[in-house]
Amino acid sequence: MRVVFCGSGEFATPSLRACRDAGHDIAIVATQPARHAGRGGQLRPTPVAVAGAELGLNVVECPNINDPAMIERLREAAADAMIVADFGQMVRLEARKSVRIDAFNLHGSLLPDLRGAAPINWAIIKGYETTGVTTFSLVDRMDAGDVYLRLSTQIARRETAGELKARLAQLGAQAVLQTLDMLGGNPPAVPTPQDDSLATKAPGLKKCDGVIDWNLPAATIRNLVHGTWPWPGARTLFVSGERRIEVTLARCDASGGHGGDAPAGQLRDDLSVQTGEGRLTVLEIKPAGKRLMEWHDFANGYRVRQGDRFVSLEQA
């Protein structure tokens, strides 16, 4: 099938590679323009632009896919379908009409649950045990189009958002290929409307969303830690005597029980952290400006002891 592929981020690259490996004719790879990044401020192309160049594809950096000149270019490509994944732009009707069959999107949740920019993070933050990917026909309303396909997977207990994103990207590649097969049928598959009454939101995260409140239950904090790693990160202040160090927690375990009368945020005799309900065992931690390290390395290096505490940045 002849396709236009619209993508920018890492979540989209497995789908692009899968389409090429499956023998689909990729007429155009549309992606966001390169941006200045890093300390040197050098222009850095998107992951999809890099992958497209490696595959020898026709990569087009476009600041606005809905620009009339770009739409004309899409029409000239005479593609059968348009694939949109981690693109970063809304694809309006005229651009969608440039392909013969349909334009569809790959989304990192089981729609209509978790519509929005950060579904993978919110699946973990909300404590879901199962999530997945969805392909759906694009419409002007965000993530509201009729569904072609859903594929689900379990979320591991210690899985972070970064790790889950990588897994869902691979699962998404399978979904994209299956959707192209569905569109190539005779007649093409007809997608199923979403039930808007079941829709939930997954808005983009801000840095303040990662601030830890130690008065919350341990399981809630664990979900926040895993759901915000690697960005924006679950941040807190470690206090030991006169030392105050901002840290980001990357991985942890939670256990139940009230744990006596220790105040929330205080380290107990086994160096677990008392929370509003239960204890949190830190497994990986990153001090500000330092590398990610295992908890026992941090505890040894900073001479952590019972009675030290974590304090919310909002209370510091």
Superfamily of domain 207-311: Formyl transferase, C-terminal domain (3.10.25.10)
Within 8 A by CB and 6+ apart from 186, the residues are none
Residues 29 and 3: their CA atoms lie apart, in Å, by: 9
Q: Is the pLDDT of residue 228 over 80?
A: yes
- 3 state DSSP class of 8: coil
Number of helices (H), then strands (E), belonging to the chain: the values are 8, 15
Helical axes 47-54 vs 13-21, angle rounded to 10°: 20
Q: Say what the pTM is.
A: 0.96
For the segment 247-287, what is each residue's pLDDT rounded down to a tens digit?
999 999 999 866 567 899 999 999 999 999 999 999 999 99
Residues 193 and 282: their CA atoms lie apart, in Å, by: 43
**CATH number for the 2-198 domain, one of 3.90.1580.10, 2.40.37.10, 3.90.1170.50, 3.40.50.170?**
3.40.50.170
The pLDDT value given to residue 38: 76
**pLDDT, average across residues 218-231:** 98
For the segment 91-123, what is each residue's pLDDT rounded down to a tens digit?
999 999 999 999 999 999 999 999 999 999 999
For the segment 33-67, what is each residue's pLDDT rounded down to a tens digit?
999 887 778 899 999 999 999 999 999 999 999 99
For the segment 153-189, what is each residue's pLDDT rounded down to a tens digit?
999 999 999 999 999 999 999 999 999 999 999 999 9
The domains of the chain are located at 2-198, 207-311
Residues 190 and 195: their CA atoms lie apart, in Å, by: 16
R_g of the chain computed on alpha carbons: 23
Helical axes 161-183 vs 13-21, angle rounded to 10°: 40
